[in-house]
Structure 1
Amino acid sequence: MKNLHVIVLFVFIGVFSGCKSTKTLTGTDANLNLNTKQVLRENSKQTARFKSLSAKIKANYFEGDNVKSVVVNLRMEKDKTIWLNGPFSAARLLVTPEKVSFYNKLDNTYFEGDFKLLSDFVGTDLDFNKVQNLLLGEALFGLEESTYSASVNNDLYLVQPKQQNPLFELFYIINPVYFKIVSQQLSQPQDERLLEIDYLKYQDVNGQIIPEQIKINAVEGQSESIIELEFKSVSLNEKLHFPFKIPSGFEVIELK
């Protein structure tokens, strides 16, 4: 299951660094005088809009003294398909609105089923849209003005539910210059679980604002996993294929 968990991590977190058509976002023209409705409206305007995306990701994975580095290929058809291909096509992951599929040629195993595989990993129920939002630096849960409040904290907007669930606390931190989420934090105090996704840089790729660097910190009890990602190249709106066929004779992975 370790190899499976490493691949699963790559689904949740995406950073998009570019080639000639990309530019890292900077700036100091912060607007810290907006009310909640205005902050969420500005954030909504920055939603990434494209038909397809492809990128090559260099990822570093840290768990205790265990460190792994790998380069994977990501392809995405917006709202339809997320596809990851490991080195030498040894492992592939395919996520659609209907199901999650995975196979690993290193140990001849596969999984095909619902989103329990991904939900168990982050400790909250997921569907395709939530996974896609995580990849694009967008809110895991919908930001409705009637249920959230925004305040200024350390020259950033802190957005949180007007009434936090004691079993599940949620925080978004939004940049006041380009109004993208710079951190998503999901905490389950009673279960000693924390998922913090920090979008360290954003960039403009053909007019679309998407993440450039990301760091994810997943804590459960005394266990902590960290992922650092860097996209070496990215392209938008090209015609893509998503080859995926589970080889015959592979053993199914049973989730408990």
Structure 2
Amino acid sequence: MHTTPKIILGLFAILLFNCKSTKVVSSGNANFNLSTKQLIKENAKQVANFKTLQSKLKITYTQKGKSQSYSVNYRTKKDEAIWINATFSIVRALITPEKVSFYNKLDKTYFDGDYQYLSDLLGTELDFDKVQNLLLGETLYDLNASDYKASADDETYIVQPKNQRDLFEIFFLLNPSNYKVKSQQISQPKEFRHLQIDYLKYQDVETQIIPELIKVIAVEASDEMTVELEMKNVSLNEELRFPFKIPSGFKEIEL
């Protein structure tokens, strides 16, 4: 498969030009006095509420010291679909709760299957909700006070399971000013795998807090892949189409 679609789709596993009142979210006043239950409740209040979102998405992919950048059109219908389209529709992808589909006009190939492809790219099990949460700055796993505990250091809240598993460790770092996710980290120490998603900047779009700059780092043994996602010109709640049809004559990719 050509490198371009692997890079573009990799961002969704680790994911238009009428911007409306977009601004960088200020840090506000830090509050380190919340209980775990209060913190999780405040984090839940910040979940972005919209029907549709579209933006221009710049993707910078780095591996083995080499970087490449691409710009794609990105659209999503909350809880239903994630759609990306590269220039001239060379690569188009549609991700739904049921499956992952994409095609590549450069080599006339397509994929139409389950989430194992994206899971293998980032080294952790993914489904639609996790991919959507990654792109919107929400925790990959649902938080609840009965299963998680929180502590604080000088700059952040650290939320983790009360009982970390030996084979699978999870940490969520929350901003004490707006309770949004600063970083989420999933490690499989015995497999030498680590996935880290850092939210370097958020933006306020029509009163909703949306990520502006995301950095995804996926490590397996000595191999490291970094994907930076810059979300620009975000607009919400417009009528959007999600056209997707695999062209005839394309060869299916066996993964």
Structure 2-normalised TM-score? Answer: 0.95
CA contact (8 A) 1:18 1:205 kept: no
Kindly state the Cα deviation for residue 13 of structure 1 after the two structures are TM-superposed: 6.1
In structure 2, the residue matched to 1:142 is 142
Q: Distance in 2 between matches of 1:234 and 1:181?
A: 19
1:1-256 alignment, distance < 5 Å: 1=1, 2-12=3-13, 19-255=19-255
In structure 2, what residue type is equivalent to 1:204? D
In structure 2, what residue type is equivalent to 1:49? N
CA contact (8 A) 1:55 1:231 kept: yes
CA contact (8 A) 2:97 2:127 kept: yes
Q: Which moves more between the two structures, 101-110 or 22-31?
A: 22-31
Q: Which moves more between the two structures, 212-221 or 20-29?
A: 20-29
CA contact (8 A) 2:10 2:122 kept: no
CA contact (8 A) 1:12 1:135 kept: no
Cα RMSD after superposing both structures = 1.7
Kindly state the Cα deviation for residue 125 of structure 1 after the two structures are TM-superposed: 1.9
Give aligned-pair identity as a percent: 56
Q: Which moves more between the two structures, 219-228 or 73-82?
A: 219-228
Kindly state the Cα deviation for residue 36 of structure 1 after the two structures are TM-superposed: 0.3
CA contact (8 A) 1:17 1:212 kept: no
Q: Distance in 2 between matches of 1:13 and 1:238?
A: 27
In structure 2, what residue type is equivalent to 1:9? G
Q: Could you give the per-residue CA deviations for residues 143-164 of structure 1, whole angstroms, max 9, x where no partner exists?
A: 0110000000232100000010
In structure 1, what residue type is equivalent to 2:12? V
Q: Could you give the per-residue CA deviations for residues 23-74 of structure 1, whole angstroms, max 9, x where no partner exists?
A: 2111341110111000000000001110000000112111113211110000
Q: Which moves more between the two structures, 178-187 or 25-34?
A: 25-34
Kindly state the Cα deviation for residue 124 of structure 1 after the two structures are TM-superposed: 2.1
Kindly state the Cα deviation for residue 229 of structure 1 after the two structures are TM-superposed: 2.0
Structure 1 residue ranges (4+ consecutive) displaced by more than 6 angstroms after TM superposition:
none
Structure 1-normalised TM-score? Answer: 0.95
Give the secondary structure class of the aligned counterpart of 2:44: helix
CA contact (8 A) 1:35 1:150 kept: yes
Unaligned runs of 5+ in 1: none
Q: Could you give the per-residue CA deviations for residues 112-137 of structure 1, whole angstroms, max 9, x where no partner exists?
A: 01111111122222211111111100
**Residue-pair matches, total:** 254
CA contact (8 A) 1:13 1:214 kept: no
CA contact (8 A) 1:170 1:187 kept: yes
